A and B are shown apart, each in its own frame.
Chain A
Amino acid sequence: MKKEPVLRTHNLTKVIGKKKIVDHVDLEIYPGEVFGFLGPNGAGKTSTIRMLVGLASITEGEVFIAGVNLAKNFEKAISYVGGIVENPEMYKFLTGYQNLIHYWRMCKGVPKSRIDEVTRLVGLEKRINDKVKTYSLGMRQRLGIAQALLHSPSLLILDEPTNGLDPAGVREFRDYLRRLAREDNLAVMVSSHLLAEMELMCDRIGVIQDGRLIDVKEMTEFKNEGKGALLIDAHPIDKVMQVVEKFLGIEAIEQDGNLLVEVDREQIPALNAQLVKEDIKVYAISQVSETLEDRFLEMTGGRSVG
C-alpha cells in the first residue's frame, strides 16, 4: 500500500555563488510518518528546508506539496505546510494569543475557535494571554507548534526543533510529534544533527552530507544492518573466552568483566548450548545493536565539515 507522498522533491538543487549547497535531492514524505532529516552542521539541511517553505529560491528542480508545484503556485502549495524554521521567533511585544490571531488572519477559511483548540493542544491555556517575552524557551516552542498547526496542515516541517529544550521538554515534544503523525495522519519532517534523538522520534531517516542525500532508510533497517555484536555475561570469564574463541574461531574482547564478540544471529543458540555444556554459568546474553550514531559516523566517514 503505497500512499501518495505529501512532499515530493525532484532534483532539488541550491547553488550559492559557485558552491552547491543542496545537490539534486529527491525526497518523498508520506502521511502518518515522522521523517528525520539528518546531517552534520552545514550539510544543507536548513538550506533544503528553506527551499521547501519558500524562504529561499530554488536553483534547480521542483518541489511538490500535496501535488501542487511550490514554485508555480506558492500560495496554494504553502497552505498545506506548517512549519518552524530554526527557533520559533514570535512577536515578543504581543501576547501568545495575539500572535496566534496574527497567523490566524493569514490563513483562509479557518474558524477562530481553532485558536483555542491549538492552544489547548499544546497546553498553553494558562499563559496564552501573557506577553511572549515572559515565556520560557519551551513555552515558545509550544506556541511555535501551535501556530504551525493552526491551519491544520498536512505537512509539518520542523527545523532543529529540540534545540535548547531541556530533556523533559525534548521527551514531551517527541511524544507529541509521534501522536500527531499517528492520530492526525500528519506527515512530519524533522531536521536535526542530534542522532540519539532521531533514533527515538523517526520512522524513516534521510542522511544528507555535502548537499547530497546519501541514504534513506526505515529506522529499523538502519539499526539492524551489519553484524550484531553480542555481550556475554558469564562466569568464569577466562573459560568463557576460551570456549567462545574455539567455537567461533575469532577473537573475543573482554569489556567490564563481560565478553564482546561479533556473531551472526543464527549462531547464538548453538553458542549458548556450548557454553552450558562446558559448565559455564551464563547470566545473560544480549545483543548490542549498533546505534545510529555509529552508523552515521560510518556513513559520513566521521569527517568534519569542510
Chain B
Amino acid sequence: MVNMLRLIQNENMKIYRRIGTIVMIGLLVLAAIGFAVFTKYSQSDTIFGSTDITKGWKDKVEKDLKEDKKEYKKEKNKDVRELLKEDIIMNQYRLDHNIPPEKGTVWEFMAQTDAFTSLIGLFTTIVGAISVAGEFTWGTIKLLLIRSASRSKILFSKFVATIGFAIGMIILLFIVSLLVGLVLFGSDGFSSAYLTYVDGKVIEKSMGLHIFSLYGLSSVDMLTTVIFAFMISAVFRSSSLAIGLSIFLSFVGGTIMSFMSAMNINWGKYLFFANTNFRPYITDGGEPPFKGMTFGFSITVLSVYLLIFLAISWYVFNKRDVASSD
C-alpha cells in the first residue's frame, strides 16, 4: 500500500539527521585527509614528493627491465621465472606505450585508501544496528508498526538505507581521497592506465575503475559484518550487542581462521569469515586460507550465510510481539 521509496526516504532522514552520523562522516573525511598528509610527508624514501616523476620513470623502468632479464636467464625455479616474465612483459609494455607506473602518483595513494573500507564497515555496522534496534530503544517502534506498511517492507527499507549509507560512504571516500590526492601528489600520471597481466598479455584498465574494484573487494567483508549486525539487532533488539558482537567477530574471526588454517582443520572453510576475502581469487593477494577453496566455493558459502542471516532477521522481525515498555 505504501510507496517503498518513501519508506527509504524516511530511513535516510533518520540516518542523516542524527549527529552521530554526521560525526562518522566527518571522521572518515578527516581520516582520508590525515592519511594523505601522513603518506606524503613521512615516506621520504619513495619518489613521493619528488616533482619530477614524469622524466625519471623511464630510466628507472629500463634499469629494472635489464636486471629482470638477467635474472630470468639465471633463474631455475619455474614459479619465479613466471613472475619475472610477467614483470618483463609489463615493463616493456610501459616503455612501448609510454605509461608511467603509478608509483608516487595520486593513484598509488588511492590504492592504499581501500583500507578505510573497514572504517566504513564499522560505521555501517553502527548505522544498521541502530536502524532496527534504535526503534525499540526509542520506543518509536510502537508508532512505526501501526501504519499501513507491513513489517517486511519496513525491514527492507531499513536494509536498503543501510546499504545505501555504505555505498554513499565509499563514493565519498573515493572523491575525498581523489581530491586530497590531487592536491598533495599532483595530477601527474592522472590519465595513465592500470595494467594487468592476464595469460601472457597486458591489459589496460581505467585507474578509477581499478580503485573502485579494490574498494568493492574490501566491501565484501564489510557487507557480511553489516548483515550479521543487522540480524543481531533484529533478534536481540539491542544495538550495542549487535555492534559489539559484529566487531568482536570481525577481529576474532581472522585469528580463529589462521589458527584453524595452521592446524589444518579443514572444515574451517565453511565458516563465513573464511570466505569474505576475495582477493586471492581476483588479484594477486595471496592464497586462500584453506585448501580446495575456489571463487565459486566462497561465493556459494557466503551467499548461503547471508541468506540465512537475512531470513532470520526477517522472520524474527515479522513474528515477534512488540513487548511492553522496552
Contact = CB atoms under 8 A, between A and B. Distances in A.
**Are A and B interaction partners?**
yes
Interface residues of B: mostly helix, strand, loop or mixed? loop
A105 B10 contact: yes
A87 interface: yes
Nearest to B322: A55
Interface string A33-55: 00000000000001000100111
Contacts of A90: 140, 143
A12 interface: no
A277 to B, nearest CB: 63
B141 to A, nearest CB: 8
Nearest to B18: A93
Contact of B146 (A78, A89, A102): A78
B322 A56 contact: yes
Report the interface size class on chain B: 20 to 34
B150 A86 contact: no
Nearest to B140: A89
Nearest to A157: B146
Contact of A106 (B19, B139, B148): B148
A222 B148 CA distance: 37
Interface stretch (B1-9, B91-99, B102-110, B249-257): B1-9
A43 to B, nearest CB: 13
B205 interface: no
Contact of B150 (A53, A74, A89): A74
B160 to A, nearest CB: 15
Q: List 9 tightest A-B contacts by C-beta distance, closest first.
A: A89-B139, A105-B6, A79-B148, A56-B321, A55-B322, A106-B147, A53-B146, A85-B142, A75-B1
Given A86-B325, A103-B147, A108-B3, 6 more contacts: A53-B146, A54-B146, A56-B321, A79-B1, A89-B143, A106-B149
9 contacts: A46-B324, A50-B322, A56-B322, A91-B138, A101-B13, A103-B143, A105-B2, A107-B147, A144-B143
Interface of A: 46, 50, 53-57, 74-76, 78-79, 81, 83-94, 98, 101-103, 105-108, 144, 147, 151
